[in-house]
A and B are shown apart, each in its own frame.
Chain A
């Protein structure tokens, strides 16, 4: 089964692509409708723009190094520190956002921290989403003993204190980027698996699944061709909302010294260093913290926006509220006119 199944999936993917191309003329697919609704949501569009700016800044970090001539890990004990050895404030000697405790350019270090944060956020979410979808689909579709084992394992992962595991792994293997990605990904799939399993349980009872089985479709074809497309909406929303969690997770681990190790910059370890200087250098705390806050907030708002855009019911609620308001205004105008006539 497995070989022929893979073949069928491949053929289907090609077919889906051609259908997609032809679909551009027809228009109005689920995704186009979602995008149309999302575009009208000002908050979500704002969040998306913020995220895109953040990504561009992170990618362009070396370009800013070329402009400022301040590599991220180079300390400037003369220009970058006061006589007392404290950081210099923003705007001093070409340091746009000031310097950190050892006289390095804070702006450049925040940009390099964004590279780490966004990389960890996207990679762990991709890994976690892939694993979560696979586990959820298999547990939900096959049911029985497989479901019991996978569902209990999912519950166990959700109940596990992640800082304790991260601490233990960091002590045993030494803190490193791959180790941290593995830890965050390991704790990120369970929530998605649970949602996917629940949805799969509901969808597998639909008649179109029975129709696929009566045509002779195998379990993996049914899971990926018939069930998965119906799950993409909730999975995309969950994944978007998981990115900020992973970013904060990374910052937390780095803050505790279990993640990215100095001198490599990360928002978490910048904030950990800033602890010692917050009384004399407000910028040292405020800017990295603001970067973290803005990024996580933007991803959360975008995730909410996508969820609203994908669920047509919310739009209907908004539309009816708008109609109600308009109706009230009409009533008010009519009452006012009536009062004027009397």
Chain B
């Protein structure tokens, strides 16, 4: 996938690597290895669009989000915002970009300080960046509360007095306060009831239209990602294995992992569910401390060949695919190919 710093691109992520050192406990801490949380990831977030990032727990989605938001330093690579590199900036130098990139967190209970009033929580961005004080701040906070569907009279309540969905709206209001260009949503609805999920997702899409926001939307629920995204990237063990427009990734997935992931999602329609063949992967997700050689998916891949354990496949456009649809696989899945059968034949 090519990286172009044109005006349609808001954020570019180039070869970003994040390793967490694994240390021995005790007084003298020796580093005995690294968790390869994010390994050589490259993609871009288009302006005003939503990039969906899917993957299993532990695939590095949230780490990647925190790297882009500048919450944790990256090991190597580059993150740029509107062409300006923002990775490795000092806290002070990062400040102006904090206004442009905001985050919505997964846990609506953990993301709000239980000892502070909602007005103070939503007003924090104004206080920290000094954009509004006193009565003006209160007015803007109440405006935000109204915008996200909260009662502005609840300004003085504590987070514990709100339901999960309302708390997530508080988180959205806080992220929206500084009028950012990018909002990173780290599993914003996975802790909510399905009926509430829809409300929050609709709120997010309304806000996107009204404010021209871009989203990096992280989730493990494939249907949610399909609903909100324009482009979808699939992560496995710290790498992006497939990336492309939503319809292509969902309709004609090329990576065996994407295919398996899609086949595992429950179908809403029982007729399609019955006719579908579930691909059962063997084994567990390998440890990110010592990831497999070559293609990281090869120990579990039904199509694995000797080449796969030796050479790492590049994320590139495969023959016959659209120019925007890239796959990191030596032997991509062909249309009509039945992986379930291939997978079964490998079982002892």
A residues whose Cβ falls under 8 Å from a Cβ of B: 1, 8, 11-12, 15-16, 19, 22-23, 25-26, 29-30, 206-208, 210-218, 221, 225-226, 229-230, 232
Contact = CB atoms under 8 A, between A and B. Distances in A.
19 contacts: A19-B156, A23-B156, A25-B156, A29-B158, A30-B115, A207-B107, A208-B111, A210-B103, A210-B105, A211-B112, A213-B71, A214-B98, A214-B102, A215-B125, A226-B116, A230-B113, A230-B114, A230-B115, A232-B115
A98 to B, nearest CB: 52
A296 B178 CA distance: 52
Interface stretch (B126-134, B144-152, B216-224, B260-268): B126-134
B71 A19 contact: no
B322 interface: no
A40 to B, nearest CB: 21
Interface residues of B, number: 42
B46 interface: no
Nearest to B119: A19
B295 interface: no
Contacts of A211: 103, 105, 111-112, 171, 174
B105 to A, nearest CB: 5
Interface in B75-125: 91-92, 94-95, 98-99, 101-103, 105-107, 110-117, 119-120, 123-125
B127 A12 contact: yes
Top 8 closest pairs, chain A to chain B, by CB: A216-B98, A229-B115, A207-B110, A207-B111, A208-B113, A207-B105, A214-B103, A26-B156
B30 interface: no
Given A207-B105, A230-B115, A15 B110 contact: no
Nearest to A22: B156
Contacts of A25: 156
Contact of B128 (A19, A22, A221): A221
Contacts of A206: 110
A47 B178 CA distance: 50
B276 interface: no
Interface string B149-186: 00000011110000000000001001000100000000
Given A15-B123, A216-B94, 20 more contacts: A8-B128, A12-B127, A15-B120, A22-B156, A23-B117, A23-B156, A30-B158, A207-B107, A207-B111, A211-B111, A214-B71, A214-B103, A215-B98, A215-B128, A216-B91, A216-B98, A216-B128, A225-B116, A226-B116, A230-B113
B339 interface: no
Interface of B: 66, 69-71, 91-92, 94-95, 98-99, 101-103, 105-107, 110-117, 119-120, 123-125, 127-130, 133, 137, 155-158, 171, 174, 178
Nearest to B161: A28
A23 B99 CA distance: 30
B63 to A, nearest CB: 12
Nearest to B116: A229
Nearest to A226: B113
B14 to A, nearest CB: 22
A230 B113 CA distance: 8
A218 B348 CA distance: 57
A208 B108 CA distance: 10
A16 B161 CA distance: 18
Nearest to A231: B115
A208 B71 contact: no
Contacts of A1: 91-92
Nearest to B98: A216
Interface centre among A12, A210, A226 (most CB of B within 10 A): A210
A218 B127 CA distance: 12
Nearest to B153: A26
Given A22-B156, A207-B105, A214-B69, A15 B113 contact: no
B154 to A, nearest CB: 9
B110 A208 contact: yes
Nearest to A11: B127
A216 to B, nearest CB: 4
Contacts of A207: 105-107, 110-111
Nearest to A214: B103
Contacts of B156: 19, 22-23, 25-26
Nearest to A228: B115
A12 B110 CA distance: 22
Contacts of B112: 208, 211
A230 to B, nearest CB: 5
A8 B127 contact: yes
Contacts of B70: 214
B253 to A, nearest CB: 32
Contacts of A226: 113, 116
A11 B114 contact: no
Contacts of B106: 207
B199 to A, nearest CB: 21
Most A Cβ at <10 Å: residue of B116, B133, B155 = B116
Contacts of B171: 211
Contacts of B105: 207, 210-211
Nearest to A4: B130
A19 B157 CA distance: 10
Contacts of A218: 91
B24 to A, nearest CB: 15
A305 B98 CA distance: 44
